[in-house]
Amino acid sequence: MRTTRSTAEWVLVALVLGGIALRLVAILSWWPVGTTNADSWPYSVYAGTNPLADPQHPAGYSTFLALVGFVTRQVAVPVLLQHLLGILAALLLFGAVRRLVGSPWPALVPAAAVLLNSDEVFLEHQILAEGPFVVAISAALYASVRAIDQPVPAWKWPLAATVLAVIAGLLRSAGLFFIPVLALAMLVGTAHSRRGRMLPSATVLVVSACLLLAYAFANLASNGRFEISPATGWHLYARVAPIANCHVFTPPKGTAGLCDPRPAPQRPGSDWYLYNPASPALRLFGRIGNHDSTLRAFALATILHEPGVYLKETFHEVEGYFVPSLHAPVYGGGCPIDCQVDWIYALTYAPDVVAQTEKGMQEFYDPFTVHVSRSGINFLHSYEHPARFGGTLLTLTSVLTLLGLLIGPRRARIGVLLFGVGGLAMLVLSTFGVYYLGRYQVPIAGPMAAGAAICLWSLWQRESGRRRRALGEGAP
C-alpha cells in the first residue's frame, strides 16, 4: 500500500513540475502580462476607483487587484500571484478528491486538468478573474469535503465552504450557482441524524444569503442598484434582444424603443446590444447600468411571452459548449474558446485591441512595456489544443458525472454531486443570463475532471469487487 501511495505522490510531483514549467514559459515568453482581452481594462480601472461601480463585472476581482495595488502597482505582481494560485488550486483539488475516495490516483486527474491546462495558464497570465476564481472554487470544494469528513462541529467547515463559494461568486457571477449544489450536498452528505443534517445545509443557505444581501446593499449605496450580479437588467436584455418579437406582446412602458425591427435571423449577437453605439439600449439610456430596472422589465416580458423561443435559444447557447461546430458565428455573438483564449491570435490579428487594452490598464498600473518571445508563444500555442478542455472532454466528463450519480458508494456519489454537478451548474445555469463564450468553460475543467475521476474510480472498485467475489466463489 505504501508503494502505491509513494508512486502517486511522485506522479503529483511530476505534474506540479510540469505545471511550473508551463507557467515559466508563459512568464518568460510574455512579460509582464498578457493584454489580449479587453476585459482587463475595466478590471484595472475600477480597481483604482470603485470596484462596485463596474457595470460589467462583480466587484470581487477588482477588489483583489486593489488590495494588491496597496502594496505595488507593478502589473507583474498579480500575474505571478495568479500563477501561484493556479498551482494551489490543483493541490486543493488533489487533496479534496484523495480525502473523499481514500485513494490518490483519481485525485491526480483534476490536478492535471489545472496544472497542465494551457488555457488555464493563459487566463492566469491575463488580468482576468478566472485565475482567482479557480482557486476560490477549489478551496470551497476542499472545505466541502472536510465538512463531510468532520461533521462535528456541524457549522465549522460548512461555514468555510460557504464563505469561499460566495467569494467565488463575487469573482465571477457563475460561481453563485455552486451555492445551491453545496447546500444540497451538505444536506445529503453529512453523517448526522435527519435533524442534524439540516444544520450544515442551513448554514450554507443562511450565511450565503447574509453575505450576498450585504453585498447587494453595498451596491445600492454605491451605484443605486440593489443587485448581486452587475447590471442584470442590461445583460438579460442583451440576452433576449436577438430573439425578442414585439409583435406578440406589448413592451412595458418606456421600452418600446428597445424593439429591434429586423427579423431575428438578421440580428447581431448579445455583445452588439451591450456595446455598439447603435444599440437601442445605448441610444435610449446611455451607458451600461443606467435604467437597469427598465431593461430588466423588457427582458422579463420577452421571456414571459416567448418562453419556448427563449428556452430554445438557451439550449442552443449551451449546445455550443459541447459541440462548438453547431454554434454558427454571429457578429457580436458567442464564440468558441479560440476567439478569446489563444496564445497568438490577438497578437497577430487584433493588435489594436492589444494596444488599447495595454493603454487602459496603465490607468491603474505603473507604465509597462510588453515583451513577447515568439518561440515561446508558438510553443504554448502548439500545446494548447492537445491539452484543451473543449467540447469533447466536457461531453465525456458530463456523461461520467451523470453516471457517477447512480453508481458507487454513497460517499463517492456525493463527491460527483459536488464536483461534477457543481461544475455543470456554474456553466449551464449561467447561460440563462449570458450568451455562450468558450472561455467560460475553462474554469470548470478541474471540478469536472474530479467528478469524472470519482465515477471511474467507482467503476473500478465495482469491477474489482465483482472479481474478488468471483474468485471467492470459485475457491475450493
What average pLDDT values come out for the chain (476 residues) when binned by 10 residues? Answer: 71 98 98 96 97 96 98 98 99 98 96 98 98 99 93 86 98 98 92 74 96 97 92 95 95 95 94 95 95 96 97 95 90 88 90 94 97 95 92 97 94 97 98 93 98 97 80 63
Phi/psi of residue 371, nearest 5 degrees: -115, 130
CB atoms within 10 A of CB 83: 22
pLDDT at 154: 75
The dihedral built from the CA positions of residue 117, 119, 125 and 130, taken in this order, carries a sign that is negative
**What pTM does this model have?**
0.95
Residue closest to 333 by CA, chosen among 348, 346, 317: 317
Q: Which three cell numbers stand for residue 464?
A: 474489482
Q: Which amino acid is located at 89 in the chain?
A: A
* Model confidence pLDDT, tens digit, residues 215-231: 999 999 998 889 999 99
H or E segment and range at residue 372: strand 371-372
CA distances for 78 relative to 10, 42, 49, 247, angstroms = 30, 16, 18, 50
pLDDT at 238: 96
CB atoms within 10 A of CB 15: 21
pLDDT at 475: 55
pLDDT at 436: 92
Cα(49)–Cα(72) distance, rounded to whole angstroms? 16
Q: Which amino acid is located at 324 in the chain?
A: P
Cα(280)–Cα(260) distance, rounded to whole angstroms? 8
Residue closest to 115 by CA, chosen among 19, 11, 13, 21: 19
Q: Which amino acid is located at 34 in the chain?
A: G
pLDDT at 471: 74
CA distances for 315 relative to 296, 319, 323, 335, angstroms = 21, 6, 12, 15
- Widest Cα–Cα separation across the chain: 86
Cα(84)–Cα(89) distance, rounded to whole angstroms? 9
Give the Cα-Cα-Cα angle 196, 199, 201 (nearest 5 degrees): 115
The interaxial angle of helices 178-189 and 156-171, nearest 10 deg, is 160
Q: Are 224 and 185 in contact (CB under 8 A)?
A: no
Q: Are 187 and 232 in contact (CB under 8 A)?
A: no
Q: What is the bridge-based pairing of β-strands 371-372 and 30-31?
A: antiparallel
Which residues lie closer than 8 Å to 76 by C-beta, 6 or more apart?
31, 32, 33, 368
Which parts of 8-132 are beta strand (E)?
Answer: 30-31
pLDDT at 1: 43
pLDDT at 244: 96
Cα(78)–Cα(94) distance, rounded to whole angstroms? 24
Helix/strand number for the chain, H first, E second? 22, 2
Question: Coil, strand, or helix at residue 333?
Answer: coil
